[in-house]
């Protein structure tokens, strides 16, 4: 049976990227975009309607449509999480996108609302939680676990047996040693070399990476 068409929640750059990837590299059709009424800029985007979120369930009901929340790392990934929870509360099933050009070993586990772009390598026994973005070209080493709501940018090397804590952001070209655990709510700077496990709510940068005095939640203007 064919997969249900999708509504994409969001209307920014990540939503436009998601529309491209789902439309041209999946068996999903993209029916529409949805966003809070106050954020609607144009009535259509890529020839598809942009509708207000409070109209979504009427116009594109969850019994005939699935959803994908295409929002970035705002507030250390909490904005995306809030929309995921709201869509689920309305009865939507959340799709994941995994590029046909990603390498995903047969026993890798991937949750819902994940966005896994080209040239990611997911080695045997890796686990990816829900609502995780892996932008292009990351290496996720064997047995590593990526917890829910993580946003990993590009060309990150995660060695084997690592764990990336929930809601963390990992910047471009970061490198993690074998068996390192990244605490929840971390912000790992671009090019950081993580040689040892990190504490929750920290910003780490440099080689070897050091913790900054400001908290990651404060830096990312998190509102709980």
Ligand X SMILES: CC(C)(COP(=O)(O)OP(=O)(O)OC[C@H]1O[C@@H](n2cnc3c(N)ncnc32)[C@H](O)[C@@H]1OP(=O)(O)O)[C@@H](O)C(=O)NCCC(=O)NCCS
**Site residues, ligand X (CB under 6 A):** 135, 153, 171-172, 187, 189-191, 205-206
> Smaller CB distance to ligand X: residue 32 or 70?
70
- Please return the burial class of 56, using the count of CB atoms within 10 Å of its CB with bins 0-12, 13-18 and 19+: buried
Question: Closest separation between CB of residue 49 and ligand X, Å?
Answer: 28
Q: Which residues contact 208 (CB under 8 A, 6 or more apart)?
A: 193, 194, 195
> Smaller CB distance to ligand X: residue 49 or 215?
215
Q: Coil, helix or strand for 20?
A: helix
Strand 202-205 vs strand 187-188: parallel, antiparallel, or unpaired? parallel
Question: Closest separation between CB of residue 137 and ligand X, Å?
Answer: 12
> Smaller CB distance to ligand X: residue 58 or 213?
213
Q: Which helix (H) or strand (E) holds 75?
A: helix 74-89
> Smaller CB distance to ligand X: residue 52 or 79?
79
Q: Which two tokens stand for residue 200?
A: 């929750």
Q: Coil, helix or strand for 78?
A: helix
Q: Which two tokens stand for residue 194?
A: 């993580």
> Smaller CB distance to ligand X: residue 62 or 189?
189
Closest C-alpha to 202, from 192, 211, 191? 211
Question: Closest separation between CB of residue 169 and ligand X, Å?
Answer: 7
Question: Closest separation between CB of residue 56 and ligand X, Å?
Answer: 27
Question: Closest separation between CB of residue 77 and ligand X, Å?
Answer: 12
């Amino acid at each position: 049976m064919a997969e249900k068409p999708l509504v994409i929640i969001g209307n920014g750059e990540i939503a436009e990227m998601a529309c491209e990837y789902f439309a041209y590299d999946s068996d999903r059709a993209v029916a529409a975009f949805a966003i809070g009424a106050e954020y609607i800029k144009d009535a259509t985007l890529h020839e598809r309607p942009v509708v207000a979120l409070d109209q979504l369930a009427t116009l594109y009901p969850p019994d005939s449509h699935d959803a994908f929340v295409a929002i970035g790392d705002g507030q250390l990934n909490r904005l995306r999480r809030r929309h995921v929870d709201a869509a689920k509360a309305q009865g939507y099933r959340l799709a994941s996108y995994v590029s046909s050009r990603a390498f995903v070993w047969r026993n890798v586990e991937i949750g819902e609302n994940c966005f896994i772009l080209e040239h990611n390598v997911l080695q045997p026994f890796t686990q990816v939680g829900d609502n995780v973005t892996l932008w292009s070209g990351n290496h996720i080493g064997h047995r590593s676990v990526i917890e829910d709501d993580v946003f990993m940018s590009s060309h990150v090397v995660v060695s084997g047996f690592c764990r990336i804590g929930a809601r963390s952001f990992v910047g471009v070209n970061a490198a993690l040693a074998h068996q390192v655990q990244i605490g929840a709510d971390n912000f790992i700077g671009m090019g950081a070399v993580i040689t040892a496990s990190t504490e929750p709510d920290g910003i780490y940068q440099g080689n070897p990476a050091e913790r900054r005095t400001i908290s990651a939640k404060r830096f990312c203007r998190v509102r709980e």
